[in-house]
Each structure stands twice: as C-alpha cells, then as structure tokens.
Amino acid sequence: MIVHIDCNSFFVSCERAFRPDLRHKPVVVLSNNDGCVCSMSTEAKLLGIKRGDPYFKFKELARTQNITCFSGNHKLYNDMSSRVMDTLRSIATNVEVYSVDDAFIKADTSMPLVEYGNFIKKKIWQDTCIPVSVGIAETKTLSKIASHFAKRYKAYNGVAVIDTTEKAKKAMSLLPIENIWGIGRKLTIRLRQLGIKTALQFAEMPQTMIHQILNITGERTWRELNGERCIPYEREATGRQSITASRSFAKDIYDIEYLREAISVFAAIVSRRLRRQHGKCTELYVFLETNRFHNDTPYMCKT
C-alpha cells in the first residue's frame, strides 16, 4: 500500500509551531512582498479568504476579525519541511518527497492501516508540531484522494484508508473531476463537455475512449484510479549525476513573487537531496514552461 502524507496549511502550521496561541484562530501567510495570500488557516477560509487574494482587498477584514498575517518566511518553511521528512525517514526506508509539504512512503508494516496512519500523524506532531493528513491506498493517485478526504472530513480524524473497491468507488463518486491529481484545467473542461463530472465517471470511461482523448499521463491517472500502479515510485537521489525537482502548478500562475517563492522551494529540495548524497554541483538550471494544453496561447519553454 502507498501512504500519502500531506501537511495541513503548511506555511500557517509552521508559524503556529512557534506561536501556539494562534491555534484555532484565523491566520494567513502572505507572499514576500505581502502582495497576496499563499496559505491560510481553516478559520481564515471560513471568513472568505482564498489563496491568491490580494492583501489590500481584505486588509480591513483582517483588522476587524483579528486575522494574524505573516510575511512568508521560506527559510523557516524549508527547515520545517526537512524536519517532517526526517521524521518520515525514521519511520520508513522508502520516502519520496513530492513537494515541500507532502510525501509518499510505502506501508511496510504489520499494523492495521488506520493504526499505522495514526502512528505517522502522531509521530510527526510529536517531533515537529506540524499537523498532517494521511491517505493510504493501493496507488499514488488513490492515496492522494484518501488524504484529500482525511483533510476535509473530521470523521476521519486525519487518516483515511481506501483498501476496497467499494471504498474507492465511494470516494471517487464524491470527488469532482478537477480535484484529481494529474487532471489539469484544460482536460477538466474537455471531460465536462463529455458529461464527466466526477472521478468515478472518469474511472468508468471505456479504455477505447481513454486512448482517443488522453495522452499517456492521463491514461496513467485513469489506470491508477482503477487500482493499477502506473506512476513510478521515485527513491531519493543516491549518487545520481543529476537531480531534478519539477512540479506542475494546479492553476496558471501570473504572480511573479509566487513564482519566485516556488522556485526557491524547489531549489531547496534539490539542495537537500544533493547534501544527503554528499554530492557537489557544477551547473544549475531553472526551466519554466507554459501549459501546452492551452489552445488560445502559444506554448513556450525557457531555460
């Protein structure tokens, strides 16, 4: 089984780790120039604040509702991320760091899966004071769905397990198509035009249609939803000649400060992997590309 560990409101949680008085209170973390929201607590979300909102638009709300606002401190967040990942390495030998605030491990344990998930959650909290949600399933994509529900529904108490076909179908029936890991905005529009609105409807599409409308990445997602492991499990670098940290954003990015912060996080991930293998770097490349699935704008890739 694959375990997905996702830190809850990570930047906010990092700030709260040193300000426990702010737990259960509205908190937002802003970009370095205090331009827009990068992270917000559940309490802030309930007040209507969304990721990407410009600070000036809710400045008065922040004053009247006692919302605590922090300027982004990515050195702190990278350090806290390292602590979380080190805790995971003390639990499992196969840790795949996916981003600054989430990772995959293999559930090599004889413990009941829910008990194992609670053990991971409690261990990370004990070591770092960072709350996490844990999803466990047969594939990476399904484990992502499990952690999605573990985070959003209190009844799971932070741990959700999808270990039967019935549970998988139930979870997918409740998940909008746009929330599937690996399904971008353009493909979401196309699938909705075909009447596909949920993950379950997508998973139940005939394979012949999948071949017609999806590329290999989309087909892998479809197979993963149907319980077939297709997305490879990446071990951490050990003596590799090159190290890469690259991610697709969930939505188009227009804020240069947000982009700079993302690049700094990826650079920190690469640096951490390099140090862990006691390596040296002679060249560093940063590459950016636009969404190749947009038909209304030209595709560009810059290094």
Q: What is the mean pLDDT of each run of 10 residues along the chain (303 residues)?
A: 95 95 94 80 93 87 92 88 93 87 89 95 96 96 96 93 95 94 85 93 90 82 91 62 65 74 78 76 81 66 70
CA distances for 51 relative to 28, 29, 150, 222, 255, angstroms:
9, 10, 20, 28, 12
At residue 248, the pLDDT reads 60
CB 104 within 8 A of CB 98: yes
Question: How, if at all, do strands 27-30 and 68-71 pair?
Answer: parallel
CA 40/CA 149 separation, integer angstroms:
18
CA 68/CA 27 separation, integer angstroms:
5
Which structure tokens are listed for 67?
Answer: 């919302």
Same topology, domains 10-72 and 165-235? Answer is no
Helical spans, DSSP H, in the chain: 10-18, 42-46, 55-64, 74-91, 113-128, 140-152, 165-174, 185-193, 199-203, 207-213, 216-225, 256-276
CA 302/CA 283 separation, integer angstroms:
16
Q: In angstroms, what is the C-alpha Rg of the chain?
A: 20
Architecture of domain 165-235: Orthogonal Bundle (1.10)
Query: Cα 81 vs. chain centroid, distance in angstroms?
Result: 13
Length of the chain equals 303
User: Closest Cα to residue 165, out of 123, 192, 127, 200?
Assistant: 200
Angle at 104 between CA 262 and CA 125, to 5 degrees: 85
CA 282/CA 258 separation, integer angstroms:
27
Q: Is 211 helix (H, G, I), strand (E, B) or coil?
A: helix
At residue 239, the pLDDT reads 46
At residue 261, the pLDDT reads 74
Burial of 278 (0-12, 13-18, 19+ CB in 10 A): exposed
Which structure tokens are listed for 147?
Answer: 């952690």
Angle between helix 74-91 and 113-128 (nearest 10): 140
Angle at 254 between CA 251 and CA 258, to 5 degrees: 85
CB 147 within 8 A of CB 133: yes
CA distances for 84 relative to 72, 100, 157, angstroms:
19, 9, 19
- Domains of the chain, residue spans: 10-72, 165-235, 256-302
At residue 167, the pLDDT reads 95
At residue 243, the pLDDT reads 74
At residue 244, the pLDDT reads 73
Angle at 147 between CA 12 and CA 67, to 5 degrees: 20
At residue 235, the pLDDT reads 62
Q: What fold characterizes domain 10-72?
A: MutS, DNA mismatch repair protein, domain I (3.40.1170)
CB 76 within 8 A of CB 12: no
Residues 6 or more apart whose CB falls under 8 angstroms from that of 145 comprise: 135, 137, 162, 171, 172, 175, 180, 181, 199
